[in-house]
Amino acid sequence: MTTTPEAAAPAAPAVGVTAPAGFRAAGVTAGLKASGKPDLALVVNDGPLRHAAAVFTSNRVAAAPVHWSRQAVSDGRADAVVLNSGGANACTGPLGFQNTHATAEHVGAALGVSPVDVLVCSTGLIGEQLPMDKLLPGIDAAAAALAGGRGEDGGAAAAASIMTTDSVPKEAGFRGHGYTIGGMAKGAGMLAPGLATMLVVLTTDAAVEPAALDAALRAATRVSFNRTDSDGCMSTNDTVILLASGASGTAPGAADFAAGLAAVCTDLAAQLIRDAEGAAHDITVRTFNAATEEDAEEVGRAVARSNLFKTAIFGRDPNWGRVLSAVGTTRAAFEPDRLNVAMNGVQICRDGGIGEDRSLVDLSGREVLVEIDLAAGDAEASIWTNDLTHEYVHENSAYSS
């Protein structure tokens, strides 16, 4: 994945949700995790603007925080985001939604803002009620950490507190001409697209109207998080939020802002794949010379979701037959006897048949590039995935026990 567009300013940006002006954040231990690790974060927009946009999972079994936040952000405003790990609050019925409402009310009271301007995100095990006797005092502790203007350097703590099976926190940043974009993400499993994946909070001190924020966010997620497909499993809680404070006083052009936002989202998406549960290989499936971008994306996703392909890469076996088998299940336009496949630069399939000796392919490194030539047009798309390992099976078989 590329992480910076050519138009990006050369200066290295600070990273995280507090890199842009106008934002504070905190991460604390509320006691939701048995491990005792940090598990609750607050991100606050101090303005002067409090514009917001968000995209959510398209899973029909959506968690209570998704329902709440989708409605709360519909007016294009958000003053704060509260995020907890240690419990998804999904499939928890009316009480689960009441707990989400109570969470927003508690944040609103602690910060002096309206609860309808508080977005709520949760991540963790599905089907268990949140321990509100721990979560609400945790909100108080996070708010106290922000008091008196503190929290400008709290982005790293917030990023660490939303981790579940993640092995490392994930932050990114972009410095434009007179403005900054920052972000944090969590996710190491159940990475497959709806409108977005995982939990992500993005911040900017640019002055951008809500409609423009929404358009830029949807464009950025389309080519970053929506192209990240670790295991084909879509979560009930996936949320990507973008907040704008306007504190820089800079109103960037739409194209420049969109490019910077896409760079941050792509950087975070790459970090998610690198941290995928148990993965030994990071795989880019690039499909090109397709009739349409949609065809290229469908082909790449079919290959990325093939367990036979993923296990072959884990075993360092450049089995191009498994690639072609997956391509053949799609509706994409192509002629089977014109397909070409290369792995790490070696064209092992030519015109739908045998190409170069597959033993020339080196899969000993972490990075794997699979290139599929459909010979049907000039469109292309890349999907980012990982291999299927013993460690992935072990970790997910024991997740709730």
Q: Say which residue the tokens 């982005």 belong to.
A: 155
Neighbours of 290 (CB within 10 A): 26
Q: State the distance between the two ends of the chain, measured CA to CA, in whole angstroms.
A: 35
Sign of CA dihedral 267, 258, 225, 91: positive
Q: Say which residue the tokens 């209570």 belong to.
A: 64
Rounded Cα–Cα distance for residues 74 and 283 (Å): 36
- Residues 90, 234 contacting (CB under 8 angstroms): no
Q: Say which residue the tokens 């498994």 belong to.
A: 322
The helix (H) or strand (E) run that includes residue 24 is: strand 23-28
Rounded Cα–Cα distance for residues 196 and 299 (Å): 20
Told to judge if 197 belongs to the known catalytic residues of this protein, a careful annotator would answer yes
Active-site residue identified among 57, 197, 228, 385 = 197
Strands, sheet with 23-28, edge to edge from the N-terminal-most edge strand: 23-28, 40-45, 80-85, 118-123
Which segments of 32-88 does DSSP mark as H helices, in order? Answer: 64-72
- Residues 303, 309 contacting (CB under 8 angstroms): yes
The set of catalytic residues is: 197
